[in-house]
Amino acid sequence: MSVLELQGLSVTYRTEGGDVPAVRGVDLEIGAGDTVGLAGESGCGKSTIAAAVLRLLPTSARVEGRVLLGGEDVYAMKPGRLRAVRWTGAAIVFQGALHSLNPVHRIGAQIEEAIRVHGLGDAATARRRAADLLERVGIPASRADRYPHQLSGGQRQRVLIAIALACGPHLLIADEPTTALDVMVQAQVLDLLAELQRDEGLAMLFITHDLSVLTSACRRLAVMYAGRIVETGPAEDVVRLPSHPYTAALAGAFPTIGDPASRMRPSGLPGDPPDPAALPSGCPFHPRCNRAVEACSTTDVGLRVSAPGRAAACVHVEPA
Amino acid sequence: MRPRVVVGKVVGAISTLAFVVVVNFFLFRIVNDDPVESMFRGRNLTAEQKERLRQQFDLDGSRFEQFVAYVRELLSGNLGVSLQSRRPVATEIAEALWPTIALVGTATTLSMAIGIWIGIRAGWRRRSRFDVGSTTFSMFTYSVPDFWLAMLALGLFSVQLGVFPTGGIEDAGSTATGLALLLDQLHHMALPCLVLAVAYIGEYAIVMRSSMLDTVREDYLQLARAKGLRDVEVRRRHAVRNAVLPVVNLSALNFGFVLSGAIAVESIFSWPGLGQATLEAIRGPDFPMLQGLFLLFSAAVILANLVADLLAGVLDPRVGGR
């Protein structure tokens, strides 16, 4: 049974200026121990998906489709069941550079809180487990009584990982866990996540805009554009031989490590991601696409399976 | 907070107080150079008699000599002699101090507790019926002058309905003692206290509400919710704990205005506190009394500032460094 399954997930934010579709019909499946990367520019809906999994979206958001955590529909759960599933069924590694840690509570207490809330031990057990978790993510347990502002950005990110691991979740959702960290620290945090994933056999959904990160950390990859998955397949294949022009542009925006030539000619992507409230007609990517043909402005093709385990939403893809 | 930071703040408070002593002294000398002359204007006093009066009120000698004498007396607790009652200013103030602390202190505490409670609930559920209702109420009481509210309350409850006395701290000519006296005093205090509390609630409710509104957007609330906490736990442990910081600061500062804050309401209810004493001293004008009162009011505000600073250091780990 899959740990997480999204079936035709759509999320629409109702605002005063009208409805804004942030996610438009996403299907995704993550099996036990599987690692899936979700890539895309900011505003493509990837963080909305992370929040939707644990039903953390604001009340102004309308959710359609189904989110199954361990086979159970998250949106059909009673409040008590939902609270129990949060952090045990899936836990989120939030962005440490932002204000995800409460500034007035000690970091140890913020880890212990998750353990206590789920009744996984008394105060002493929780304290011991919090100390273990801090050591596990590479922070001396003696720092448990520090406050978030006394830690560096990298350490805060590690604390957030420790918090996410507190209840032994089946799925770890890493929502841009390395954004706004400097490069050395990014690499350390990525190594830590990969190591944890391997050792604990965690299933992981890795959300980022940085494709190069995903290739090493994930087995499969899904690329999102304007609220939809436009390409999916084995991570290495997707990055090496992209089928969708958007994936190609995204892959070209980052230099390939070990290939000095690619550093000399990073290819950017012109224009901005479309406003979800006013999507272009046809394929939403066509105004920025260098391979767009006339049909692209009128017809929006769905995902086409090009090879076993690979699919892309582009007219240039020949269905297998 | 580091001990060094604490010591620095205490030293700062003491220097501010010293500055106030200087300004306070010279301010009244500028306003009126020779109180004796203006007090007995139009009466036939011999130069000798005037000189004796000046000696009595420490008004002889040069300005500087007067100041030195004033500071010396101040340090030994002598604030001078009231021009009106001819009693020591310190005694006059001490007598008026407790009625004010009882009345305004109670009203401030009460309004703080209720106002913060209202603000938490209103800010947590923005645009809910509770929010709209309580914010309308808060805006109204915040903008209404307390003396107007006092006169309305007096007219309705004391004059029309007769459920509360019209003023004073106890029944005239009362010989009650002990518990009976206390109950009588509480009965007298109820209405002015209620008026002040209502007048103050709005400020706390509005400030707490807006602080909550800033806090509900914070990322750490999303994390708390994701961990599986109940809504009330997220609110209490994470949202309120952060949102209350600026309100605690405001509350501590407002305690500094307890002594001086109710001049109008005290005089409407003839409450024998510092407010009424101030008003009478102004009517005099009774300069030594005013000077003593001003010094006390300033000291209270300075002390409240110090407490607010120290409290912030205790409640917010980010203040004061490590």
Question: Which tens digits make up the pLDDT trace of B3-58?
Answer: 888 999 999 999 999 999 999 888 888 877 677 777 777 677 788 888 887 777 77
Mean pLDDT of chain B: 89
In a domain, B249, yes or no: yes
Asked if B220 has any chain A CB less than 8 Å from its own CB, the reply is: yes
Give domain status of residue B251, yes or no: yes
Whether residue B222 and residue A95 make contact (CB cut-off 8 A), yes or no, is no
Q: What is the pLDDT of residue B322?
A: 42
Strand order in the sheet with A203-208: A90-93, A171-175, A203-208, A35-39, A220-225, A228-234, A310-312, A304-307
Distance from C-alpha of A40 to C-alpha of A231, rounded to nearest angstrom: 11
- What phi and psi, each to the nearest 5 degrees, are found at residue B72? -60, -45
pLDDT score recorded for residue B227: 95
β-pairing, A171-175 vs A203-208, is parallel
User: Confidence class of residue A73 from pLDDT cuts 50, 70 and 90?
Assistant: very high
Q: What gap in Å lies between CA A248 and CA A267, rounded to an integer?
A: 10
- For residue A275, the 8-state DSSP code is P
B237 touches chain A (CB under 8 A): yes
Torsion, CA A189, CA A191, CA A193, CA A197, rounded to 10: -170
CB proximity B127 to A under 8 Å: no
User: Is the minimum CB–CB distance between B232 and chain A shorter than 8 Å?
Assistant: no
pLDDT on residue B247: 92
pLDDT of residue A254: 66
Q: Which runs of consecutive H residues, i.e. helices, occur in chain A?
A: 46-53, 79-85, 107-117, 123-136, 153-165, 183-200, 211-217, 235-240, 245-252, 260-264
Give B226→chain A minimum CA distance, Å: 6
State how far the alpha carbon of A240 is from the alpha carbons of A190, A211, A247, in Å: 21, 11, 10
Does any domain span residue B271? yes
What 3-state class would DSSP assign to A98?
Answer: coil
> Which residues from chain A sit within 8 angstroms of residue B222, using beta carbons?
51, 56, 94, 100
Instruction: Calculate mean pLDDT across residues B255-263.
Output: 84
Q: Which among A83, A100, A118 has CB closest to B219?
A: A100
CATH of domain A4-226: 3.40.50.300
Chain A and chain B share a number of CB contacts under 8 A equal to 77
Contact check, Cβ <8 Å, B226/A113: no
Q: Name the average pLDDT for chain A.
A: 89
β pairing state of A61-69 and A4-15: antiparallel
Asked whether A97 and A107 are in contact (CB, 8 A), the reply is: no
Distance from CA of residue A179 to its chain's centroid? 12
pLDDT over 90 at A112, yes or no: yes
The C-alpha of B228 sits at a distance from chain A's nearest C-alpha, in angstroms, of 4
pLDDT band at A76 (very low <50, low <70, confident <90, very high): very high
Residue A265 has a pLDDT of: 57
Q: What percent of chain B lies above the pLDDT cut of 70?
A: 98
Cβ separation B226–A56 shorter than 8 A: yes
- Could you tell me which residues come within 8 angstroms of residue B218 by beta carbon, excluding any fewer than 6 positions away? A99, B239, B242
* Per-residue confidence (pLDDT) for residue B269, from 0 to 100: 93
Give yes or no for residue A79 having a pLDDT over 50. yes
Of A84, A102, A160, the CB nearest to B228: A84
A209 vs A212: CA distance, rounded Å: 9
SS3 A317: coil
Examine residue B102 and state whether it is found in any structural domain, yes or no.
Answer: yes
B3 lies in some domain: no
CA nearest B227 in A: which residue?
Answer: A87
Quote the Cα angle for A313-A315-A318, to 5°: 90
Return d(Cα A133, Cα A124) in angstroms, integer.
14
- Interface contact flag, B227 A117, Cβ < 8 Å: yes
Domain that holds residue B219: 94-285
Stretch B155-182: mean pLDDT, rounded? 86
Of A5, A18, A84, A47, nearest in space to A279 by CA: A18
Determine, for residues A99 and B227 on separate chains, whether the beta-carbon distance falls below 8 Å: no
Residue A85, φ and ψ in degrees, nearest 5: -75, -35
**How many residues would you count in chain A?**
320
Q: Does B230 touch chain A (CB under 8 A)?
A: yes
Chain A interface residues facing chain B, Cβ-Cβ under 8 Å?
51, 54, 56, 83-88, 91-92, 94-95, 98-105, 113-114, 117-118, 147, 149-150, 160, 163, 166-167
Q: Is A309 exposed, middle or buried (0-12, 13-18, 19+ CB in 10 A)?
A: exposed
- Out of B223, B241, B245, name the one closest to residue A100 (CB): B223
Residue B217, chain A, CB below 8 Å: the answer is no
Q: Is residue B321 over pLDDT 70?
A: no
Residue B40 lies in a domain: no
What pLDDT is attached to residue A48? 92
Q: Backbone phi, then psi, for B88, in 5-degree steps?
A: -60, 140
pLDDT in tens, B194-210: 999 999 999 999 999 99
Instruction: Identify whether B113 is part of a domain.
Output: yes
Among A47-61, B71-85, B185-199, the range scoring the smallest mean pLDDT is: B71-85
Distances (CA, A) of A247 to A50, A223, A230, A296, A305: 21, 7, 8, 17, 16
In terms of residues, how long is chain B? 322
Chain B residue numbers with beta carbons less than 8 Å from the beta carbon of A113 are 224, 227, 229, 237
Q: What is the pLDDT of residues B226-248, one digit of tens each?
A: 999 999 999 999 999 999 999 99
Q: Give the C-alpha distances (Å, rounded to integers) separating A236 from A122, A196, A231, B206.
A: 45, 21, 13, 56
Residues of chain B with C-beta less than 8 angstroms from the C-beta of A55:
none
Task: Kindly list the residues from chain B whose CB atom is less than 8 angstroms away from the CB atom of residue A104.
Answer: 241-242, 245, 315-317
Q: Is residue B299 part of a domain?
A: no
Q: Is A86 close to B226, i.e. CB distance below 8 A?
A: yes
Domain boundaries, chain A: 4-226
CATH of the domain at B141: 1.10.3720.10
Confirm if B284 and B72 have CB atoms less than 8 A apart.
no
Structurally, how many domains does chain B consist of?
1
Close Cβ partners of A315 (under 8 Å, ≥ 6 residues apart):
A283, A293, A295, A296, A299, A301
Which class for A156: exposed (0-12), middle (13-18), buried (19 or more C-beta within 10 A)? buried
